[in-house]
Amino acid sequence: MLTRDLTTPALLVDADVLDANLAAMAAALPGDRLRPHVKAHKCSALAARQAAAGHRGFTCATIREAEGMAAAGLGGDLLVANEVVDARRLGRLVEAGHRVTLAVDSPATVVAAAAGGVREVLVDVNIGLPRCGVPAEEAGRLADEARAAGLDVRGVMGYEGHAVLLEDRRQRIEEVKKCVALLAAAARDVGGEVISGGGTGTYDLNTVATEIQAGSYALMDTAYAKLGLPFGQALTVLATVISVNLGGGWAVADCGLKALGMDHGNPALADGSSVWFCSDEHLVFSPPEGAALPAVGDVVQVVPAHVDPTVAYHEHLHVVRGDEVVDRWDVDLRGW
């Protein structure tokens, strides 16, 4: 099958770029040094490629992601790096023989983990991002509570999400230093062997974490592209030009707000065209200076600004080499 035979909008994954990204990360963080985050791609087939690259444990953001990974035979060591108040579905995975570790950051989530049948937890520590995580100085006490509830505390996790997209590398380094100091202190208080954290933007800067939770590196987006990381843009959205306005100098492609995560702003076009705006089912753009308008029926490649909420709109990832579709992977970890 050729890309021109796909119904658009359609997610394309460049097989060679993906392979190069997986290889580059596996070289930098081999084996268990990386715990790939599946929330970025929500695709167990892609996770299987990460497993083949040597990474045995995975990070999940939702219960559904953990269930899907287990169903795909990748439930050997799943970390749900998020708080839940009802852990019963995760407990059923544990009962079925999968290894599931859950983040906890409060007495209520400790109680939920134990009541739901989860046996292993990480204490989630707030290391600067105003989101989840217990204050670092309270981490040890929460670990004691978890152990008293019968849970095995494997260690700590913390996410420097406010630092991962800082474009200035020196600034990123400085911010990460502060974060990991907090994480290291909490790790001493909590005990255990695991210090989990980091992301694509800090995979080589977070030297305290025993495992890095990067996910975006596999497919990438325009936000991470600004950081000059050694990962290429593997993901694009194929779109068809459905209307051209010669007088106005614009064209319209069939890739709108329901095909693109928009929280980081407009996507880019691979050919350098200017994006004017997106609406529900449309992307309006004009060609680069000096270039001709496309024709109705032409296809364009749209580069998302944020990979995670883009993939979550789609049913499939089409793996391509040039114009050829070599595989189709289900985005099987969507929903909740």
Q: Which residues of the shown chain bind a copy of itself in the complex (CB under 8 A)? A: 7-10, 39, 61-63, 82-85, 105-106, 108-109, 126, 130-133, 135, 161, 240-245, 247-248, 250, 252, 254, 257-258, 261-263, 276, 278-282, 284, 295-297, 306, 308-309, 312-315, 334-336
Smaller CB distance to a copy of itself: residue 31 or 135?
135
Per-residue DSSP letters for 80-140? E-S--S--HHHHHHHHTT--EEEEE-SHHHHHHHHHHT--EEEEEEE-SSSSS-EEGGGHH
In whole angstroms, what separates CA 169 from the centre of its chain?
21
Per-residue DSSP letters for 270-328? TT-PEEEEEETTEEEEE--TTPPP--TT-EEEEE-S-HHHHHTT-SEEEEEETTEEEEE
Strand partners, 120: 101, 152
> Before 30, cis peptide (omega within 30)?
no
In this structure, the strands spanning 316-321 and 10-14 are parallel
* Closest approach of a copy of itself to the CB of residue 163, in Å: 13
Interior CA angle at 212 toward 164 and 135, to 5°? 70
Q: Which residues contact 204 (CB under 8 A, 6 or more apart)?
A: 28
* Closest approach of a copy of itself to the CB of residue 27, in Å: 27
Q: Which residues contact 190 (CB under 8 A, 6 or more apart)?
A: 123, 139, 140, 143, 153, 155, 156
* Closest approach of a copy of itself to the CB of residue 44, in Å: 17
DSSP 7: P
* Closest approach of a copy of itself to the CB of residue 242, in Å: 4
Smaller CB distance to a copy of itself: residue 108 or 270?
108
* Closest approach of a copy of itself to the CB of residue 16, in Å: 26
* Closest approach of a copy of itself to the CB of residue 59, in Å: 12
Q: How far apart are CA 112 and CA 194, in angstroms?
A: 21
* Closest approach of a copy of itself to the CB of residue 312, in Å: 4
Smaller CB distance to a copy of itself: residue 32 or 138?
138
Strand partners, 250: 245
Smaller CB distance to a copy of itself: residue 21 or 109?
109
Residue with tokens 């299987």: 48
Smaller CB distance to a copy of itself: residue 53 or 110?
110
Smaller CB distance to a copy of itself: residue 154 or 314?
314
* Closest approach of a copy of itself to the CB of residue 266, in Å: 9
